[in-house]
Chains A and B, each alone.
Chain A
């Protein structure tokens, strides 16, 4: 728990953010919520729940928010950073599972891996299988679930995987940078909770991610 900071990007997450922050606080030293220009009460709720809240005055997207949060964590002296979604898709009690995996495997980064089972909506399952093979073919990435936001990495690893993507392509870019920097990374099975109001990625986002990955291939 010492030196472990959680970074939670949030855009209009007043419904879930309180529970996410309170649960996460049990496992980390500090919770940083990056309010990505929310129009609802996310900021006040997150502050009340005990998070350090940073606010983007203009919406930057998931990648932009994660980058701000991780930069803040580094500034505040984090040794390890865990990222979670602000919509309650991830179970914070599994943070300890990721830490154990990092310690046992001596890895620089641990990426959460959701089982592609019946709980996962069909469109997401197809998309995730596509990105698994696409990432493997283009970059040799060994992780099966390339799109989850539940990840743990050391502050040194963050400096190597720091991304430029402002949107959902951040998940893939993180893996690409880890592979290119020859970081030791492993994956660990996690649960995923799908809500009815789940915003997540759309087919259009998927096309944008695939396009971004192709451009990264030739960067």
Chain B
């Protein structure tokens, strides 16, 4: 394994640990924890079995493993951006509803 692979594995180990810590603090649900764990393990397998991956990716016209990581990384980031966009829009909507409810409560409770 090249030094790049070792660095990658160390990074993934840290990420597994951080994910576990977040799960223990109940900030992640069991499902979310499982999804993230699966993702880190998959990434680790790609690093460990790099020679096998090399032969597979050459069939789909990707020259280097690094290029594959870049492509997967971008795909992941776009998916995360979309997911965050949806979450923020929903949160904005909920905040608006709550703020309006609180404002209107003052007239209904006073019976104005």
Contact = CB atoms under 8 A, between A and B. Distances in A.
Interface of B: 92, 95-96, 99-100, 102-104, 106-108, 112
A55 B107 contact: no
A60 B104 CA distance: 14
Residue in B96, B100, B103, B106 with the greatest tally of chain A CB atoms within 10 Å: B103
A76 B100 contact: no
* A-B pairs with lowest CB-CB distance, top 6: A54-B103, A68-B100, A56-B99, A68-B103, A58-B99, A72-B107
Main secondary structure of the interface of A (DSSP, over half): mixed
B101 to A, nearest CB: 10
B99 A72 contact: no
Interface residues of A, number: 16
A68 B107 contact: no
A71 B99 contact: no
A68 B104 contact: yes
A154 interface: no
Contacts of A55: 103, 106
Contacts of A203: none
A58 B107 contact: no
A58 B95 CA distance: 8
A152 interface: no
Contact of B107 (A54, A56, A60, A166): A54
13 contacts: A54-B104, A54-B107, A56-B99, A56-B100, A56-B103, A57-B103, A67-B100, A68-B104, A71-B104, A75-B104, A75-B107, A76-B107, A76-B112
A67 B101 CA distance: 12
Given A58-B99, A64-B99, A75-B104, 18 more contacts: A34-B103, A56-B99, A56-B100, A56-B103, A57-B102, A57-B103, A58-B95, A60-B96, A64-B96, A64-B100, A68-B99, A68-B103, A71-B100, A72-B103, A72-B104, A75-B108, A76-B112, A166-B96
A52 interface: yes
B38 to A, nearest CB: 36
A58 B112 CA distance: 23
